[in-house]
Amino acid sequence: MNGSVATRSLDGWFAARGWTPSDLQRRAWKGFAEGRSGLIHAPTGVGKTLAAWGGAVEYAPRYPEHEGLAVLWLTPLRALARDTVQNLQRPLHDLDVPWRVEARIGDTSSTKKARQRTSMPHGLVTTPESLSVLMSYPEARSLLTGVHAVVVDEWHELIGSKRGTQTELALARLRRWIPALRIWGLSATLGNAEEAMATLLGRSGADPAMESPAGPAPAGPAMDSPTAGALADPPMDPPDHVLLRGPDRPDPEIVTLLPERLDRFPWHGHIGLALLPKVLTELEKPGTALLFTNTRAQSERWHEAIVAARPDWEGQVALHHGSLSRAVREAAEAGLADGTLRCVVATSSLDLGIDFGPVDRVVQVGSPKGIARLLQRAGRSGHTPDGRSKILCVPTQAIEVAEFAAARRAVAERRIEPRTPVDRPLDVLVQHMVTVAAGGGFDPDALFDEVRTSHAYRNLEPETWRWCLDFVRNGGDALRAYERFARVRVRDDGRWVASSDRTVVRNHRMSIGTITSDGQLTVQFLKGGRLGTVEESFLARLSPGDVFTFAGRRLRLVRIRDMKAYVRLAGRRAASVVPKWTGGRMPISSELGEALLDVFDRMAPDGFDGTGPGDTADNGAPSPELAALTPLLELQHRWSALPGSGRLLVERIRTREGSHLFLYPFLGRRVHDGLSALLAHRIAKETPATIHISANDYGLELVSSAEIDLDSDEAWSRLLCADTLEVDLLESLNGAELGKRQFREIARVAGLVLQGFPGRSKSTKALQVSSGLIYEVLERYDPDNLLLDQTRTEVLRREIEFARLREGLLSLQRRTRLLTSPLRLTPLAFPIWAERIQAHLSTESWVDRVRRTAERLEAAAGVEA
């Protein structure tokens, strides 16, 4: 058959290296040979790059006749582009393919970019933003029509974000221009591979018929053979889409570092650095190690502690997080690659597929937060397809020990989190419309049909589309066009093209690349050395003279000016704060929460009758985590009850503070935050009272000086009612303030604010305006603006995780309520309580009070036992 003949040269190339193509690679090449598109869904280290690149090159129009761009390679990270170019270039020579592969990313020089526009390389490695910018040039179509394959690398990183939507729109454009286009995505393990593929591939532009507004097309069954590749649902075209699943790697070995003794009354961070000596022992072993933390602040703290404990490791321990300058991060990556570093302390900045070989050991500090995340981090060790990777887990709070056991079970059962694509974001759509207008112009009906071939906009209503047309043309609705505003104009022949004002188009191109950037301040020494960037919101909370830890150093803030924070080194002894970056507190995933409840199910109700904990490790013995946690859980069981998957544990406890209500839904911190605000709001509506709230990943607390009466089923169903949820939530959570924050990104993407001007001149300075101000102006002078609706939707979706919260509320209604009235704070209640009182106390007096309370409770527990 056709495919086997054509793969001969690839086989030869592999043979020359003593390699054999994997089954996955052969199937991918076959897919390319047959002109199909698809998704390669497999863990790191199984040769996804060669699977896609081999096929793309092999089945390109025969070289060297082919002139111009043949393969587009999209990557989410600029930092990956250079490595990718090298990796793609390498096999070409041996395959006798005289191709040029180049990168085109934000910091590619303008001369090089201009040269590319006259003479495109055969392979172009670029980001979604840079591809959009390319599409905004009038000659875009002629530059891109020669493309026969697009490969989207690390699709799992893009799918859940607006950058993913931007990619979908660009692909819809390319599919229309190039009917035979092959699109291939590469993705790490996701819980929703079918949806990820449907999102990437969209449908061909042939059928403009309306889809039923009932909702997204359900994803088809898992499929491995190309013939089964057609999606079952008719509205999504049945093109030849292939979902290729890689070989399953063996489960990683998850080992938990257990302290000598686990406190029965834990609190957030109470283990802290107590396990540092054991971690140091691990790091003493030869080879390189990666130590992952969950927050940038935590990485700074661990880095500082390791260096302080082992001054002899000076220069062998590096730090890597998203706020550090590129030079600092690249030095750490290089040190990992060449093995000169002993340890890199990193955050999720290293979760992305930055290309370095496997390290010798991986350490995870704190909750894994999610199954996919733990798998990916573990996968950094032992990269060979059949090697078993290993991860050493370090708890920072006692109950996290159970999380590690839960994660191990969930991994074994392949309960991996999905990543949900963004639905119809209008800011990205209006940005794309201006891009297309600049890149040759459009006919509104044709562009509507094209946009609707993407998964994100498959249900875009004609009415919304008309609003978007008005927005890019008039600013507001057609009836009251904004005077002097024109980003897109309609030519006499009916074609919509970009404003003839060149600065408008230039400003637009500048704004395309800003989806990811937030208000960031550069941290630099007075004398000029740059250290990295910190969110504006963090530095806004510091005053000149304050000391903070950043990039592994203690710095004193001198002043902030022109988006730069000037610092000087502070003495070692100066007390410092570690920046709390936004997004630092990622909640645990639903999957991990459920797995935790399953673990508790196995413990209860007869787990303490002498037979020992029911949860077992691989070999059938009780898992070490649960064995270590037994005293805590036994006490929880004795004083109250254990939570579980079928029941909602509710504890009512009276203290001097008042009446506390603790609920343990295990839905993650963000949902609990929203839920506690909602419940407090609803209770206060019925009985006026001041209610204080608190939440962690496991549960939430409501405390009031008045008794909260929740004895009847009726009171509960009113409290957990899912009607009026949206309104109640926005009311209870200061929706306006959250809205303003969320609007920042929308304003940037939709081009309502200008950003990212290199060396802002005076004239552009006069155009600087904050998105918060625009939000106020829109609310007042254009309240029907659909971007305000989008803001509300995004607040619900992102800030509150509305869908998960609603789902959670419904599941709470279904669960059996188990109401207990313990005499004292229970082991599960204690950390939530401790977190709440933290807000009112200085660090020292907080630690003091929490410790004393824990000792008192421990004494009470001991006397009983």
Residues that bind another protein (CB under 8 A): 471, 475-476, 482-487, 499, 501, 503-504, 507-508, 537, 540-541, 543-544, 559, 561, 580, 734, 737, 751-754, 762-763, 766-767, 769-770, 772-774, 776-778, 780-782, 785, 839
CB of 328 or CB of 747, closer to another protein: 747
CB 663 within 8 A of CB 832: no
**Nearest partner of 532 among 336, 350, 356, 319, judged by Cα:** 319
CB of 259 or CB of 476, closer to another protein: 476
User: Please, what is the minimum distance in Å from the beta carbon of residue 180 to another protein?
Assistant: 37
CB-based burial, 264-300: b 16+ in 10 Å, e otherwise: bbbbbbbbebebbeebeeebeeeebbbbbbbbbbbbb
CB of 580 or CB of 602, closer to another protein: 580
CB of 189 or CB of 696, closer to another protein: 696
SS3 sequence, 513-528?
Answer: CCCCCCCEEEEEECCC
**Nearest partner of 197 among 416, 24, 421, 34, judged by Cα:** 421
User: Please, what is the minimum distance in Å from the beta carbon of residue 301 to another protein?
Assistant: 15
CB 327 within 8 A of CB 531: no
CB of 507 or CB of 640, closer to another protein: 507
Region of 130 on the Ramachandran plot (φ > 0 left; ψ -120 to 50 alpha; else beta): alpha
CB of 299 or CB of 511, closer to another protein: 511
CB of 741 or CB of 817, closer to another protein: 741
User: Please, what is the minimum distance in Å from the beta carbon of residue 840 to another protein?
Assistant: 8
**Nearest partner of 380 among 371, 391, 370, judged by Cα:** 391
User: Please, what is the minimum distance in Å from the beta carbon of residue 679 to another protein?
Assistant: 18
CB of 227 or CB of 761, closer to another protein: 761
User: Please, what is the minimum distance in Å from the beta carbon of residue 476 to another protein?
Assistant: 6
Residue located via tokens 């993705």: 187
CB of 471 or CB of 550, closer to another protein: 471
User: Please, what is the minimum distance in Å from the beta carbon of residue 839 to another protein?
Assistant: 6
User: Please, what is the minimum distance in Å from the beta carbon of residue 774 to another protein?
Assistant: 7
User: Please, what is the minimum distance in Å from the beta carbon of residue 607 to another protein?
Assistant: 35
User: Please, what is the minimum distance in Å from the beta carbon of residue 559 to another protein?
Assistant: 6
Residue 555 CA to residue 566 CA, distance in Å, equals 10
Residue 29 parent element (H or E): helix 23-33
CB of 689 or CB of 788, closer to another protein: 788
CB of 414 or CB of 559, closer to another protein: 559
Torsion on CA atoms 542, 544, 545, 549, rounded to nearest 10: 40
Residue 176 CA to residue 170 CA, distance in Å, equals 10
User: Please, what is the minimum distance in Å from the beta carbon of residue 322 to another protein?
Assistant: 19
User: Please, what is the minimum distance in Å from the beta carbon of residue 838 to another protein?
Assistant: 9
Beta pairing partners, 364: 292, 393
CB of 536 or CB of 807, closer to another protein: 536
CB of 227 or CB of 543, closer to another protein: 543
User: Please, what is the minimum distance in Å from the beta carbon of residue 173 to another protein?
Assistant: 22
Angle at 40 between CA 35 and CA 41, to 5 degrees: 155
CB of 484 or CB of 572, closer to another protein: 484
Strand order in the sheet with 647-655: 691-695, 700-704, 658-663, 647-655, 816-820
Angle at 235 between CA 234 and CA 240, to 5 degrees: 65
CB of 559 or CB of 852, closer to another protein: 559
CB of 14 or CB of 581, closer to another protein: 581
CB of 501 or CB of 848, closer to another protein: 501
**Nearest partner of 306 among 333, 349, 345, 271, judged by Cα:** 345
Residue 304 CA to residue 318 CA, distance in Å, equals 10
User: Please, what is the minimum distance in Å from the beta carbon of residue 800 to another protein?
Assistant: 15
H runs (alpha helix) in 390-541: 400-412, 426-438, 444-451, 462-474, 502-512, 536-539
Q: Using the 8-state DSSP alphabet, how is residue 622 labeled?
A: B
User: Please, what is the minimum distance in Å from the beta carbon of residue 510 to another protein?
Assistant: 11
DSSP string, 85-126: HHHHHHHHHHTT----EEEE-TTS-HHHHHHHHHS--SEEEE
Give the amino acid at 477. Answer: D
User: Please, what is the minimum distance in Å from the beta carbon of residue 433 to another protein?
Assistant: 13
User: Please, what is the minimum distance in Å from the beta carbon of residue 315 to another protein?
Assistant: 33
CA atoms within 13 A of residue 323's CA, in its CB half-sphere: 29
Beta pairing partners, 649: 818
DSSP string, 63-82: TTT--S--EEEE-S-HHHHH
User: Please, what is the minimum distance in Å from the beta carbon of residue 293 to another protein?
Assistant: 18
Rg (CA), the chain: 28
CB 31 within 8 A of CB 226: yes
Residue 603 CA to residue 262 CA, distance in Å, equals 18
User: Please, what is the minimum distance in Å from the beta carbon of residue 537 to another protein?
Assistant: 7
- Tokens standing for 345? 């302390």
Residue located via tokens 């409770």: 857
CB of 309 or CB of 577, closer to another protein: 577
Beta pairing, strands 37-41 & 547-550: unpaired
- Tokens standing for 15? 């043979």
CB 297 within 8 A of CB 370: no
Residue 123 CA to residue 126 CA, distance in Å, equals 10
Residue 340 CA to residue 332 CA, distance in Å, equals 10
